[in-house]
Amino acid sequence: MDKSDSAPLPPRKKSGVLPTLLRQMNVRRVLDALRRLGTVSRADLTRVTGISAPTMSKLVEELLASGLIEAEPEMRYATGRPSVLYRLGSRSVQILGAVIGMRECTVVASGLAGELDERRCRTFATPDNYESFLRALAAELTTLACGFEAPALGVGLSLPGLIKSSTGEMALSPNIHYLDGRRPGVDLAKLLKLTVVPVQEEHGLCLAEQMFGAARGVEHFAMLDISDGLGMGVISGGRLISGSDGFGGEIGHMTAKLGGELCGCGNRGCLETVATDLAFMRALTRREGRTLTMDEIIAEAQAGRLAIAPEIGEVLDYLAAGIGTIVNVFNPAMLFVYGRLFEVRDGLFDQLVRKVGEHALRPSLQRCRIVRAQGNKRLGAVAAIINSHFNTLGPAFSI
C-alpha cells in the first residue's frame, strides 16, 4: 500500500448551510404548529414539533423579538403551575389583503393567525381604469395600515383571472379587461414599498380552506368558485396544481353550451356563462326586465315575491355537470363550492349534490364529500401573503 493511501484525511471544513437549513425548518415548524393549534405553551410546542427544549427556548425568544409570535398573560393549569402561552402575532405585526371584484374592491387587515375583523375592512367601487385602480387601492391600503401601529409585513392581492406565475402579469381578466397585460402586484408594491403577493382568487380560496378551514390536513381537494365567474383550484398531495404558467384550474372556460352567450374571455357558451351566481342574476334580470342584485334576489325569493324557476334549475343542471367533470378528472376527497346561489332557497345545495350523481363516476363520487366553502376571498388574500411570508422563513414541514 502506498503511504499516501494511509495518510489521514484533511479535516472537513464546517459548513453553515446545514445548521441554517435546520434552523429555518425549525422556525417553520413552530409557526405552522401555532397556526394549527392556536395558543399553546412552550412545552406543548416542544412536544408537538419534536424540537429539543433548549433549541425551542432560543427559537421562541427570537420569534418574540421579531414580533412573529406573542406571549399571552400568565395562565394556570390544573396543577396550579403558571405557564406562558404563545400565539402567532396579532398585535405586534399586521398583514394586509385586497380582493378585486368586477363591481367592488375590499381591503382588510389581519394578524398572522388570519383573524378578520369587520372594523378593519374597507370597501370601495372598482374604478374603471388601471391608473385610478392602482391609486385607489394604494390609498385604501395605506389608510387601513396606518390605523394600526404594528408594522405591515405585506399584502395578499386576490385577482380575478389568469396570473402568469413567472412574472405576475395578468394574462387575462375576463371581467376586468384593463388588468390584461398589467402587473398589478409589481406596480402596487412600488407604490406601497411593501411585498405584494398576487394570487388567482380561486387559488387564494384553496389556501384559505387549507390553512384556516375544513381542508386542514386534507391532501386532495378542489375548490369551485361560482360567484362572478367560475374558477377552480385543486390541491393534490397537499400542493396546488397550477400548471406550466400558473393558469391551471380554469374549468369555467370549457364549452358547456355550443353557440351560447358570449363570455368575457371572448368565446361563447363557457360554463361560467350558465353555472354561476352572475349567470343566475342575469337570467332573472332579463326575465323581469329590471336589474337585480344577488341581495335583492335572495330577499325577494325568500319573501315569496320572486319566482326563481326555471332559471335556478338550469343553473344547477350545468353546475352539476361541471362538478361531475371535476370529480371524474381529479378524484378529490373533498370538493368545496363557494357562492351565494344556495342562499336563495333552503335545500338548493342538497339538490345540487343529488344532481352531481347523474354526471360523476360512482366510485369517485362515493369517496368525495361535496360541501360549501367555509372561507371567503378576503381570507384567501390573507392566506396568500401569510403562506408566502412563511415560505420565505423556511420550508414547509409536516408535523
CA 329 to chain centroid? 22
Query: From CA 72, how far away is CA 254, in angstroms rounded?
Result: 51
Q: Exposed e or buried b for every residue in 341-365, given b needs 16+ CB within 10 A?
A: bbbbeeebbeebbebbeebbeeebb
**What pLDDT does residue 224 have?**
96
**What pLDDT does residue 61 have?**
94
The share of the chain scoring above pLDDT 90, in percent, equals: 79
Query: From CA 97, how far away is CA 359, in angstroms rounded?
Result: 37
pLDDT at 115 over 80: yes
pLDDT digits (tens, 9 = 90+) for 116-129: 988 899 999 999 99
Mean pLDDT of 167-189: 96
The share of the chain scoring above pLDDT 70, in percent, equals: 92
State the number of CA atoms in the 13 A half-sphere of 383 facing the CB. 22
Mean pLDDT of 7-21: 52
**What pLDDT does residue 138 have?**
98
**Domains of the chain from N-terminus onward:** 21-88 (1.10.10.10), 94-205+378-393 (3.30.420.40), 216-373 (3.30.420.40)
Hey, what amino acid is at 340? R
Question: Could you tell me the pTM of the whole model?
Answer: 0.84
From the number of C-beta atoms within 10 Å of its C-beta (0-12, 13-18, 19+), residue 143 rates as exposed
pLDDT digits (tens, 9 = 90+) for 34-56: 998 889 999 999 999 999 999 99
pLDDT digits (tens, 9 = 90+) for 310-342: 999 999 999 999 999 999 999 999 999 999 999
**What pLDDT does residue 242 have?**
86
Q: Confidence class of residue 12 from pLDDT cuts 50, 70 and 90?
A: very low
pLDDT digits (tens, 9 = 90+) for 253-301: 999 999 999 999 999 999 999 999 999 999 999 999 999 999 999 999 9
Sign of CA dihedral 254, 256, 258, 263: negative
Q: Are 183 and 169 in contact (CB under 8 A)?
A: yes
pLDDT digits (tens, 9 = 90+) for 181-209: 999 999 999 999 999 999 999 999 999 99
| Sequence-separated (6 or more) residues with CB below 8 Å from residue 321 | 256, 359
Quick one: CA torsion of 213, 375, 349, 293, rounded to 10 degrees?
A: 170
**What pLDDT does residue 243 have?**
87
**What pLDDT does residue 82 have?**
64
